[in-house]
């Protein structure tokens, strides 16, 4: 089917230039199909020379003159476009800007539909039907050809629309993952966004992974790791969290797989003090921006080998929760205990304090295995979309430190 469409629809690039924008520098290609020009913004796709790496972020964005030129507040199209540009500038990919104004009904009909919405108090879909127009008549037939021009075989789609994803897949496009581009509503577009949600257009699947404190507690009680995120203006990262006293080699291996591999055991300050674990760097010599309180690293020496395996590190974490002295530990080792701030989460809003509080709330000792999740190639820290990808794949919950703080008030 995909090959047939490529034969029936012919597109070719007629002009290109570099385009500096407030979100970054893109390459702008103009693809022509039957005298129709389709703009495509590209970011670093020429660097993908290996077929295994041909999975890029792609936004198939439908034109919205009222929002993107006149700054209309009746929809969120302009904000979606801007967020997509920010994401693709950071992570590479393309934005295909389609001429599907008003979901394909055209500008004049779209404005008529706006008027019907106001005068007849109909939602966006019923207004189209009132005008004897289809709810949606967007054309994406040329999208496979555009992707083929760049040798893109599989995509990560930025979309809120299940219908769009279904149509693109029907055209033969392989969508490995999709990520919603959710924008907070305003008083003018709230009803519009609600009507889209009711029509099963907004895709909320990814948002189900964000949970309440109670849900996160239940997962910890059910022997499932959780992901805790901090604020964008702090470290802006997500950590895998699991109670130290019950961690198994299998869970430890899972943590190692998806994180930096430097595994810490966050512990309440009294546990650290009772073990007489000395700080790696004493104040005021601790120059870490967040004053992370690493102690000297340790391995448990009974029943372990080198200390670095998932099994050995799990045993060390278990024993840090039960031993009352360091006589059976070797130092330095491969596990890194962290001393939580005595004032807890109210005093320091870090993963150390948040993780032990969650373990405590779930009925475990105030000690947690924690490690920062990384990008799939291990080169960078995981962003929001990588965290959502892992959480969705493994049915994990994500909760923010700010939500835990709010719960404690």
Residues 380 and 372: their CA atoms lie apart, in Å, by: 11
Nearest to 100 by CA among 32, 191, 164: 164
pLDDT > 60? residue 305: yes
Q: 28: which DSSP letter?
A: E
Q: What is the pLDDT of residue 45?
A: 85
**Burial 136-174, CB ≥16 within 10 A → b, else e:** bebebebbbbbbeebebbbbbbbbbbbbbbebbeebebe
What are the beta bridge partners of residue 42?
A: 27, 94
- The answer to whether the CB of 118 falls within 8 A of the CB of 192 is no
Q: pLDDT tens-digit profile of 18-36?
A: 999 999 999 999 999 988 9
C-alpha dist (Å) from residue 153 to 48, 56, 133, 150, 331: 11, 9, 35, 9, 50
Q: What is the pLDDT of residue 386?
A: 83
Q: Which residue has the higher pLDDT, 39 or 290?
A: 39
Contacting residues for 79 by C-beta, under 8 A, at least 6 apart: 183
Residues 267 and 352: their CA atoms lie apart, in Å, by: 7
Residues 240 and 255: their CA atoms lie apart, in Å, by: 7
- The answer to whether the CB of 183 falls within 8 A of the CB of 79 is yes
Least confident range of 219-233, 294-308, 311-325:
219-233
On the CB side of 398, how many CA atoms lie within 13 Å of its CA? 23
Q: Which domains does the chain have, with CATH numbers?
A: 2-100+138-204 (3.40.50.10990), 209-408 (3.90.870.10)
Average pLDDT over residues 188-196: 78
pLDDT > 80? residue 53: no
Q: 381: which DSSP letter?
A: B
Contacting residues for 35 by C-beta, under 8 A, at least 6 apart: none
Nearest to 167 by CA among 5, 350, 377, 389: 5
Least confident range of 40-44, 105-109, 226-230, 380-384:
380-384
Q: What is the pLDDT of residue 360?
A: 96
Nearest to 54 by CA among 150, 154, 144: 154
Residues 352 and 285: their CA atoms lie apart, in Å, by: 20
CB neighbours of residue 282 within 10 Å: 9
- The answer to whether the CB of 297 falls within 8 A of the CB of 368 is no
CB neighbours of residue 271 within 10 Å: 21
Residues 361 and 339: their CA atoms lie apart, in Å, by: 18
pLDDT > 50? residue 3: no
Q: Quote the distance between the C-alpha of residue 299 and its chain's center.
A: 34
Q: Tokens 């599989």 identify what position?
A: 154
One DSSP character per residue, 215-275 reads HHHHHHHTT--EEEE--TTTT--EEEEEEGGG--HHHHHHHHHHB-S--EEEE-HHHHHHH
Residue 69 backbone dihedrals phi, psi, to 5 degrees: -110, -45
pTM for the whole structure? 0.57
Average pLDDT, the chain: 89
Residues in the chain: 409
Least confident range of 13-27, 59-73, 75-89, 191-205:
191-205
């Amino acid at each position: 089917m995909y090959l047939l469409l490529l034969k029936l629809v012919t597109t070719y690039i007629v002009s290109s230039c570099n385009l500096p924008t407030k979100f970054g520098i893109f390459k702008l290609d103009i693809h022509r199909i039957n005298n129709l020009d389709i703009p495509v913004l590209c970011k670093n796709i020429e660097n993908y020379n290996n077929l295994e790496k041909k999975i890029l972020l792609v936004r198939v964005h439908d034109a919205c003159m009222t929002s993107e030129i006149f700054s209309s507040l009746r929809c969120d199209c302009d904000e979606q476009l801007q967020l997509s540009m920010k994401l693709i500038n950071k992570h590479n990919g393309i934005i295909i800007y389609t001429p599907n104004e008003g979901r394909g009904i055209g500008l004049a009909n779209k404005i008529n539909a706006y008027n019907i919405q106001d005068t007849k108090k109909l939602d966006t879909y019923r207004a189209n039907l009132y005008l004897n127009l289809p709810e949606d008549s967007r054309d994406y037939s040329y999208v496979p050809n555009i992707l083929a021009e760049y040798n893109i075989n599989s995509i990560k789609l930025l979309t809120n629309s299940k219908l769009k994803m279904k149509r693109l897949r029907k055209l033969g496009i392989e969508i490995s993952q999709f990520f919603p581009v959710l924008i907070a509503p305003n008083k003018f577009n709230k009803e519009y966004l609600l009507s889209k949600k009711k029509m099963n257009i907004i895709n909320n699947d990814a948002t189900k992974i964000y949970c309440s404190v109670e849900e996160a507690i239940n997962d910890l009680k059910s022997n499932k790791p959780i992901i805790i995120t901090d604020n964008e203006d702090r470290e802006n990262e997500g950590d895998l969290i699991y109670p130290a006293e019950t961690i198994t080699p299998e869970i430890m291996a899972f943590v190692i797989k998806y994180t930096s591999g430097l595994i810490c055991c966050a512990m309440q300050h009294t546990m650290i003090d009772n073990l007489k674990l000395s700080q790696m760097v004493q104040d005021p010599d601790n120059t870490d921006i967040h004053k992370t309180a690493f102690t000297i690293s340790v391995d448990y020496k009974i029943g372990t080998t080198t200390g670095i395996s998932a099994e050995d590190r799990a045993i060390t974490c278990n024993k840090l929760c039960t031993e009352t002295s360091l006589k059976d530990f070797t130092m330095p080792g491969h596990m890194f205990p962290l001393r939580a701030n005595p004032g807890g989460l109210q005093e320091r809003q870090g993963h150390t304090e948040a993780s032990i509080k969650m373990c405590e709330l779930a009925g475990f000792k105030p000690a947690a295995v924690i490690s920062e999740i990384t990008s799939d190639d291990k080169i960078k820290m995981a962003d929001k979309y990588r965290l959502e990808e892992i959480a969705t794949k493994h049915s994990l919950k994500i909760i923010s430190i700010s939500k835990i703080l709010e719960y404690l008030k």
